[in-house]
């Protein structure tokens, strides 16, 4: 029950009745997001009674992607944002890093060429998804139309990250500038449809998934290369 002052949600009400909690019944919940249950006080769960299971040795989560200690930096590029930032500008910056990294990997003779995906997860609101989608669409339109300023920025970025392969990376981006997929994944999208498979199983070198809760709850992205997360 969310709060003593609020009416129980339908799910909580029915689970309470099913478990016969008022008469001493016990319910056991298994979740990957215990903090959410704690925040909502779902069914008055007791944090002290939680049993934490050790994750698989190949599992990566919050400690990997958002380390509290700068000493424990992961083996990938992590850009942290402060409380005040221009989201549109930062999304564009993340997209630049994404296409440059794809180009760098797909021009490396030691690596197999692959299609990669990027996730933009900034909000649970559909209106915000539309804004992120437009920023992403505008970025790839500039890439298609050979916007000189954008290509100058990409060249500078490549020189900073892969100075030995500047021409090859730029050529890769230019030749594949139309090979991209952008999909919004939210409550209006059935996770079983081809709409989401186009981003979870990328069919283009540059694949971008934009969305909210569905993305954060048990969706696996093959070849996920970049994540822009501000929630």
Confidence of residue 105 (pLDDT cuts 50, 70, 90): very high
The reported pLDDT for the residue numbered 219 is 80
* pLDDT tens by residue, 43-67: 777 788 889 888 888 887 777 777 7
Distances (CA, A) of 66 to 27, 73, 86, 169, 225: 32, 9, 20, 29, 16
Distance CA 97, CA 81 (A): 15
Distance CA 158, CA 202 (A): 23
* pLDDT tens by residue, 64-82: 777 777 665 566 787 888 7
Percentage, residues of the chain above pLDDT 90: 43
Confidence of residue 2 (pLDDT cuts 50, 70, 90): very low
The reported pLDDT for the residue numbered 171 is 97
CA-closest candidate to residue 171, choices 118, 107, 93, 117: 107
Instruction: Look up the pTM and report it.
Output: 0.77
Distance CA 100, CA 27 (A): 49
* pLDDT tens by residue, 106-154: 999 999 999 999 999 988 788 888 999 999 999 999 999 999 999 999 9
* Segment 161-180 mean pLDDT: 93
Looking at the predicted structure, is the pLDDT value of residue 3 above 60? Answer: no
């Amino acid at each position: 029950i969310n709060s003593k002052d609020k009416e129980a949600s339908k799910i909580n009400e029915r689970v309470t009745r099913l478990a016969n909690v008022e008469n001493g019944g016990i319910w056991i919940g298994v979740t990957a997001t215990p903090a959410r249950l704690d925040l909502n006080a779902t069914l008055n769960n007791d944090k002290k009674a939680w049993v934490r299971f050790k994750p698989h040795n190949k599992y990566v989560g919050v400690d990997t992607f958002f380390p509290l200690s700068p000493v424990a930096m992961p083996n990938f590029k992590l850009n942290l944002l402060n409380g005040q930032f221009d989201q549109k500008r930062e999304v564009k910056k993340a997209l630049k890093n994404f296409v440059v990294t794809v180009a760098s990997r797909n021009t490396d003779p030691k690596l197999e060429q692959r299609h990669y995906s990027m996730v933009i997860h900034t909000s649970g609101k559909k209106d915000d998804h539309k804004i992120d989608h437009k920023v992403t669409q505008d970025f790839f339109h500039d890439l298609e139309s050979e916007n000189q300023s954008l290509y100058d920025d990409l060249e500078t970025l490549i020189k900073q990250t892969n100075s030995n392969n500047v021409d090859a990376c730029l050529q890769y981006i230019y030749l594949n500038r139309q090979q991209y997929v952008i999909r919004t994944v939210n409550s209006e999208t059935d996770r079983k449809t081809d709409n989401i498979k186009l981003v979870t199983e990328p069919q283009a070198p540059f694949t971008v998934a934009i969305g909210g809760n569905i993305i954060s709850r048990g969706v696996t992205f093959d070849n996920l290369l970049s994540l822009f997360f501000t929630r």
